[in-house]
């Protein structure tokens, strides 16, 4: 039986020094700064030879992961520093239901040369549940504010 590739969500370790808070950097082969526009509903993408490691540094968004013919909605916000690791072969996209842009860092792990089809959008098998995406993001923001 083959192992099922799973998305991993984890909080960042941190320590305080003086007036600053330091977070553990992510090992990567390449680091990208990504902007997700306010109101964006990104297409799905699937990478064959890379692992994405996403961390929101300003604003908030919802990562959408397609597994077992279902969408999983993962809220990401700068108020809760969280890294989401997406292994190769897992279709994923982004929704930003807020009226503010979002900035994230993608610390990419390469498992081979960049592969052009990895950056072509996939057709969504069914529409995103935008109400569900907004709900999970609102819940995450309420939790962070508490």
pLDDT in tens, 25-55: 788 899 999 999 999 999 999 999 999 999 9
- Domain ranges in the chain are 26-124+133-145
DSSP strands (E only) in the chain: 8-11, 14-17, 20-23, 30-36, 50-58, 60-67, 70-77, 82-86, 92-95, 102-110
Q: In the predicted model, what is the mean pLDDT of the chain? A: 90
Coil, strand or helix at 61: strand
Q: What are phi and psi of 65, to 5 degrees?
A: -120, 135
Q: For residue 107, what pLDDT band results from cuts at 50, 70 and 90?
A: very high
Coil, strand or helix at 12: coil
pLDDT number for residue 1: 42
pLDDT number for residue 4: 54
Which fold does the domain 26-124+133-145 belong to in CATH?
Jelly Rolls (2.60.120)
pTM listed for this prediction: 0.89
């Amino acid at each position: 039986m083959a192992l099922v590739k799973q998305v991993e969500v984890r909080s960042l370790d941190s320590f305080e020094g003086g007036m600053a808070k330091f977070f553990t950097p992510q090992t990567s082969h390449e680091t990208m700064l990504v902007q997700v526009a306010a109101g964006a509903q990104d297409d799905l993408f699937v990478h064959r030879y890379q692992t994405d490691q996403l961390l929101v540094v300003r604003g908030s968004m919802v990562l959408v992961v397609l597994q077992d013919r279902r969408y999983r909605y993962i809220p990401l916000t700068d108020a809760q520093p969280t890294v989401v690791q997406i292994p190769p072969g897992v279709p994923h996209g982004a929704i930003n239901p807020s009226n503010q842009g979002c900035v994230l860092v993608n610390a990419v792990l390469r498992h081979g040369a960049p592969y052009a089809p990895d950056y072509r959008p996939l057709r969504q098998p069914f529409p995103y549940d935008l109400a569900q995406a907004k709900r999970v993001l609102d819940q995450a923001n309420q939790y962070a504010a508490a």
